[in-house]
């Protein structure tokens, strides 16, 4: 099988996440997508994020009606830091007969040279599916110079450029602005009833 790996803090998971993941699943012919909830991002160690238990609850609600999407606890079940190259290595050991396709946004591809051991990340996946993000300028020749053979792994995913982000949703919640149609209904109902994300 071809398994997509979509990692993030998902604070909270929103409609743009789901649209990007579904476009990646379709365009890259993935059999399923593992959503890897990262307790603490090694790229943003000082950024406040909601407790992972809350985010896990919201992510479950976001994915409940799509059998092709499932949550992986690979990062939750191990100690920090949660580097992507190690996450992919562990998943490769869990699924040795399958092709692992790592999904990321264009901004992450642009910053990949700053990630921990990017060469090992490449070796631990079959392909990298890159979902374009608004404002992410990518210089592939320069990236290829810093990470040889990167361009051979990159597969572009074309999707609507929705300017919805988790940080925008948290800001709108703090300001008392509406977020209902930024979110899957199950996620919205939990946030509304439990007052999540309103004081960060």
Residues with pLDDT less than 50, the chain: 200
pLDDT in tens, 144-178: 999 999 999 999 999 887 889 999 999 999 999 99
Separation between Cα atoms, residue 122 and residue 149, nearest integer Å:
9
Beta bridge partners of 89: none
Return the half-sphere exposure (C-beta side, CA atoms, 13 A cut-off) of residue 132: 11
Nearest to 21 by CA among 41, 5, 37: 5
- Please report the domains of the chain, with CATH numbers, ordered by start residue: 2-193 (3.40.50.620)
CA angle 29, 32, 33 (to 5 degrees): 105
**What's residue 66's pLDDT?**
97
| Alpha-carbon distances of 153 from 58, 75, 127, 130, 183, rounded to whole Å | 32, 24, 5, 10, 32
**What's residue 95's pLDDT?**
97
Cβ count near 181 (within 10 Å): 9
Instruction: Tell me the Ramachandran region of residue 170: left when phi exceeds 0, alpha when psi lies from -120 to 50, beta otherwise.
Output: alpha
**What's residue 200's pLDDT?**
46
DSSP per-residue string spanning 40-78: S-TT-TTS----HHHHHHHHHHHHTT-TTEEEE-TTTTS
- Mean pLDDT for the chain? 93
**What's residue 135's pLDDT?**
65
């Amino acid at each position: 099988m071809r398994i997509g790996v979509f990692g993030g803090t998902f604070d909270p998971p929103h409609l743009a996440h789901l649209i990007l993941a579904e476009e990646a699943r379709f365009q890259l012919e993935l059999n399923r997508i593992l959503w890897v909830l990262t307790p603490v991002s090694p790229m943003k160690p000082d950024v406040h994020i909601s407790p992972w238990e809350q985010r896990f609850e919201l992510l479950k609600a976001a994915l409940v009606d799509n059998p092709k999407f499932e949550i992986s606890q690979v990062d939750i079940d191990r100690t920090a830091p949660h580097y992507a190259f190690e996450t992919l290595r562990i998943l490769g050991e869990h699924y040795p007969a399958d092709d692992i396709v790592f999904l990321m946004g264009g901004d992450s591809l642009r910053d990949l040279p700053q990630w921990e051991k990017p060469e090992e990340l490449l070796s631990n996946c079959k392909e990298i599916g890159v979902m374009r993000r608004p404002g992410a300028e990518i210089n592939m020749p320069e990236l290829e110079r810093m990470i040889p053979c990167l361009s051979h792994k990159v597969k572009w995913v074309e999707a609507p450029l929705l300017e919805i982000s988790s940080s925008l949703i948290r800001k709108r919640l703090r300001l008392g602005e509406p977020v209902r149609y930024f979110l899957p209904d199950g996620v919205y109902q939990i946030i509304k009833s439990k007052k999540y994300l309103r004081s960060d």
